[in-house]
Structure 1
Amino acid sequence: MSYDVAVVGAGILGLAHALAAARLGKRVVVIERDAQANGASIRNFGFVTVNGQQAGDCWGMARRSRDVWAEVAPKAGIEILHPGMLVTARRPEAEAVIDAFLATDMAADCRRLTRAEALDLAPVSEAVTAALHSPLEFRVESKTAIPKLAAWLAEAHHVDFRWLTEVHAVETPRIHTSAGIIEAETVILCPGDDYSGPFADRLAAYGLTRCKLQMLRVMPTRRPALGAAVMSDLGLARYLGYAELPEAQALKTLLDAEQPTHRSNGVHLIVVQSADGSLVVGDSHHYADTPDPFSSTLVDQLMLGEMEAALDLGPYAVTERWLGTYASATGKDSGRWRLTDAPDEATRLCIVTAGCGASTSFAIGEETISALFA
């Protein structure tokens, strides 16, 4: 059987392209080398983030993708676990960044909270002096949401999936795979952070590397309910939607002096909650062409310490630890957060080169398919 569109890679970016193509009535196949998605898409927070994304293209893509998630999740049986985001501040310099962000067009739906108001959403610590609240964000459980999305695409949109199928070469309309040749008029490759497959020479020109993240799951004894995802001062100095504001420089300078080890390990705080009451906590950022597979106890302690500084959770136990990974741009392209490369008129390479794939992929998929079939 031949297809209109073949998508290589069943992570969120690949599935987003499959959805956009299927909605145009295209015959779609998704080709995946593993038995299920096993990379960045299932190892992250499942935190669909709008505010905090870099102003301009990234924020706009996140805003659109958030709306697609909200439409698709209930149809695919994906539970939205908690809405909103609470960015806590413990320093006057962090409050200044919040105030500056609230003056931007991106903050139309946001508001500043006192600590007392923030307590209605999360058990913030006594050190918290103020918070930014955004109602746009929400959380899904990544490790179940991605398989459910794939199953829904197969059932509702008749997308074919070829699991455990390695792609050796692409000569559109012919795709050479471990299961033989698959034919498709258009081919979209979403390889994540694997740069060694088809068109490796083209990807090499972008100077890509990999980012390794450390992640934790903790179970508080009291199991407090979070009414929003929680971030902290460190996030205000890292997420570009905040960190690129002029007012953020004073905060970054202060954090470099007060929390240098956090900063050098790329640690900032995100805490989200799962249905069983456990919390996913992270994360850190270490860059290498081939990141080592080992976790650092020091980095875990840094993340947990920042969680304890922002939240009063009481006793808790660490129940899981794992590593995440994603593609990252370096060198002259270090400000790049995504790339789309066209080896020919009917072939596209698409990669999110930052940690915002879950937040932006649906809009990227729509853009790619629209450009190909306009």
Structure 2
Amino acid sequence: MEQHFDLVVVGAGIVGLAHALVAARLGKRVVVVDRDAQANGASVRNFGFVTVTGQARGEVWRRARRSAAVWNEIAGPAGIEIVQRGLTLVARRPEARTLLQAFLETEMAEGCTWHEAGQLANRLPGQGEVLGALTSSVDLRVDSRSAVPRLSAWLQAAYGVSFLRSVAVLAVETGRVETSAGALRADSVVVCPGDDLVTLFPDHFAKAEVTRCKLQMMRLADPGWRLPSAVMSDLGLVRYLGYAELPESAALRARLQAEQPAHLQHGIHLIVVQGADGSLVVGDSHHYAPTPDPFGREDVDALILEEFAKVFGQAPPPVLERWTGTYASAAGHSLVAAPMPHVRLVTVTSGTGASTAFGLAEEVVAGLFDLSPGVAA
């Protein structure tokens, strides 16, 4: 006999788990189907940095704020450690300082403060070429390698969410999902395939011109000091739209193009986060292709570590691990489509799944089950 669920979620990355959480909180019977035995994609190959500050103004920024609130709600019950809180976004150039001062005048700067370089000793050990920094209290960081599996286990234990792993989804239609382990009946289906752009509903990905982005990241040895928050630098100001869309970003972009053209060419910006064991996760770069090659480049890693040295005023610690990751990429924050009745296709196309998925999922689930706005929150 075919099993029946209120909601079938295809994909057990953070976007799929966010939809499972929202539906389970509404009392829905949920099953999550994933082709891998464990989390293996973009959801565990990232910083675990839940970034609110700097997200695109308006809808995306509000989703990020809501998602951070959900992380704070579920972390304790799910046994997920919030390893760091806040952000230290350093300005290495006067143009970056001017841009951040303009940002502080917007509604997006709630929870943010400017500090001159001499006020950063507690936030930036080994301070290098830094004029000052914007600090934020609203961002947070989890260890994605442990947080994603713990979230899955908690959904199963606390809400009875079922998981079918090492199971491929072969076809989706209204009310029915065909898998390699048999068919499932469902009132509704949410397909969250990450950067698998060809297995299910490829025409929607093609129409939205979705491609894939490859990034390079590293884990560095414990430097012997502690970061209370994540650290970013000038390069991030021209990638994160909350800053980059302000008029003041033009002068910074021009200077970066003159001084760090190779960094911009490879889509490099600096994010540094620290784990409970003291090791640092550092990255990253951005290269785009329908099928990116799987190989990391030493010259790209060297550019990332060069920016690290400029910010911290010291050589980076030894590299313990290197890896690449890929995610779906397109203009805008996400692709949300209704390929057929009671079916939604949802992919975050901005590399911000950990930062925005919970807020996005509440919107999608509310629409799928005809709920009033805010009911799914």
TM range (shorter): over 0.9
Match of 1:14 in 2: 16
- Cα deviation, 1:155-212, whole Å, max 9, x if unaligned, reads 0010000000000001221111100111111000000010111222232211110000
**Offset of 1:126 from its aligned partner?**
3.5
Amino acid in the other structure paired with 1:42: V
**Offset of 1:345 from its aligned partner?**
2.2
**Offset of 1:124 from its aligned partner?**
4.8
- Cα deviation, 1:78-123, whole Å, max 9, x if unaligned, reads 0001100000011100100110000001102110011122221121
Q: 1:81 aligned to 2:83?
A: yes
- Secondary structure of 1:210's partner? strand
**Offset of 1:325 from its aligned partner?**
1.0
Amino acid in the other structure paired with 2:186: A
Amino acid in the other structure paired with 1:110: C
Q: 1:26 aligned to 2:22?
A: no
Q: 1:349 aligned to 2:350?
A: no
- Structure 1 window deviating more from structure 2 (201-210 vs 182-191): it is 201-210
Q: TM-score, normalised by structure 2?
A: 0.96
Aligned-residue Cα RMSD (Å) equals 1.0
Distance (whole Å) between structure 1 residues aligned to residue 32 and residue 49 of structure 2: 24
Q: TM-score, normalised by structure 1?
A: 0.97
Q: 2:358 aligns with which of 357, 362, 367?
A: 362
**Offset of 1:313 from its aligned partner?**
5.0
Distance (whole Å) between structure 1 residues aligned to residue 179 and residue 317 of structure 2: 47
Match of 1:165 in 2: 167
**Offset of 1:314 from its aligned partner?**
5.3
Runs of 4+ with deviation above 4 angstroms: none
Amino acid in the other structure paired with 2:300: V
Amino acid in the other structure paired with 1:167: V
Match of 1:250 in 2: 251
Match of 1:337 in 2: 333
Distance (whole Å) between structure 2 residues aligned to residue 273 and residue 287 of structure 1: 27
- Cα deviation, 1:210-267, whole Å, max 9, x if unaligned, reads 00000001114x4210011000011112111111110010000000000000000000
- Secondary structure of 2:193's partner? coil
Distance (whole Å) between structure 2 residues aligned to residue 36 and residue 10 of structure 1: 9
Match of 2:131 in 1: 129
1:51-70 superposed matches below 5 A: 51-70=53-72
Identity of aligned residues (%): 55
- Cα deviation, 1:260-279, whole Å, max 9, x if unaligned, reads 00000000000000111000
**Offset of 1:311 from its aligned partner?**
1.1
Match of 2:282 in 1: 281
Match of 1:199 in 2: 201
Distance (whole Å) between structure 2 residues aligned to residue 237 and residue 207 of structure 1: 22
Residues 236, 270 of structure 2: 8 Å contact kept: yes
* Structure 1, unaligned runs of 5 or more: none
* Structure 2, unaligned runs of 5 or more: 372-377
Distance (whole Å) between structure 1 residues aligned to residue 134 and residue 7 of structure 2: 42
Residues 32, 164 of structure 2: 8 Å contact kept: yes
Distance (whole Å) between structure 2 residues aligned to residue 246 and residue 124 of structure 1: 32
Amino acid in the other structure paired with 1:200: P
Residues 195, 203 of structure 1: 8 Å contact kept: yes
- Secondary structure of 1:319's partner? strand
**Offset of 1:140 from its aligned partner?**
0.5
